[in-house]
Chains A and B, each alone.
Chain A
Amino acid sequence: MVFGFDYSLVNLLSLVVGLAFLANGYIIVRSERESLELFVMSLLLGAGLIVVAVVPNVFEVVARLLGLEWKARAILVISNLTLFVAVTYLLNRIGHMYDRLSRLNEELSLLRSELEEHQLQTEDKQDE
């Protein structure tokens, strides 16, 4: 017992996973992936897990507040959260794909323009 709280291996695990989420957010910033949704989600989940790990009673309070002591409602809430995470992730991937497609469009148009220029020069030389 530390500071009036009972800590177990689960708390340590929550702390590690929470820190991993924060690190993920930091890595996203460093690598300039600029995925705002993933960054905010990582910060929220990471901070939430760390709070739950450090102050275990918070989870009980939140669970009571959300009605998670009822099994059916707990399943509904967890399903909704999972759906939220999945939708956010997929939106992020779509954004990424659009970004890559746009870069490919840019690169392809520049290469095509270079090719046209090269073909014109070759034709001019042949005419001479």
Chain B
Amino acid sequence: MELFQRTTILSSLLAAFPPVRTVAVIPAYNESSTIGSVIDGTSRYVDEVVVVDDGSSDDTAAIAREHGAHVVTHVFNTGVGGAVRTGYQYAIRHDYDFVVQVDADGQHDPEKIPTLLSHAEDADMVIGSRYLNESIDDYPFIRRLGITFFTTVVRKLGGIDITDVTSGFRVYRVSALQDILHRSDNHWAVEQTLDAAQRGQRIEEVSIEMPIRDEGESQFSLDTLVLYPLRMTDTVFRVLLFR
């Protein structure tokens, strides 16, 4: 009888406080050389790893499956924004509590995931910042200039104190994420962060070192560089006017 009572109490407690479920979303485009080790490192800290293969032409999807990740494959390449949005939709549909976003190129150290998650207890979005340590000094001047400019824009317009708006190493509370699903396939970070700030969501930053990538195909092509300011400006105006 006593055992029955204890079991009942335990069941009630579990029902009242269900375990927190976390999924890692890894957007990947032709990252066959690094994806395996990223999945191995990430899977230790989350319940499930989802790789969104954004139309890769190499073995990224097959390697990801071999390493135990759930793979969602895009029919064609949309850009990193489209890939992470698909990952967010997966998290929402599978009732996860938190989403950890990790780059597939090995730039983000999975060992830092617990640090990000611990800050997410009291926040809706946690951003790993390169500006709170010295790793940003290794980045090319033009890229640092771009990051600083758009971070300043988001700080001024959103009224938040952040240092690295374009960082892709983040944790989201899924219940808050549903309100800020971005539309842009290219510059999702600015759109999403500004939108979250305007909605009064709790945004925190944590110092995370991110060495500059030396493998895989870079997202920064000439096309990206030329269109970057125009697309960013368009994104900022759209959030300010329509959200």
What is the interface of chain A, defined by CB distance below 8 A to chain B? Answer: 29, 32-34, 36, 39, 99, 102, 105-106, 108-110, 112-113, 117
Contact = CB atoms under 8 A, between A and B. Distances in A.
A112 B73 contact: yes
B78 interface: yes
Interface stretch (B3-11, B83-91, B204-212, B220-228): B83-91
B72 interface: yes
A61 B68 CA distance: 72
B238 A102 contact: no
Interface in B68-107: 70-76, 78, 82, 85-86, 89-90, 93
B75 A109 contact: yes
A110 B75 contact: no
Contact of B86 (A32, A34, A36, A106): A106
B234 interface: yes
Nearest to B237: A36
| Secondary structure call for the A interface | helix
Interface of B: 52, 70-76, 78, 82, 85-86, 89-90, 93, 183, 185, 234, 237-238, 241-243
Given A36-B238, A109-B86, 14 more contacts: A33-B242, A34-B238, A36-B237, A99-B183, A105-B74, A106-B74, A106-B89, A109-B72, A109-B73, A110-B72, A110-B86, A112-B72, A113-B72, A113-B90
Contacts of A112: 72-73
15 contacts: A33-B242, A34-B183, A34-B241, A34-B242, A99-B183, A105-B74, A105-B75, A105-B76, A105-B78, A106-B82, A106-B85, A106-B89, A109-B73, A109-B74, A110-B72
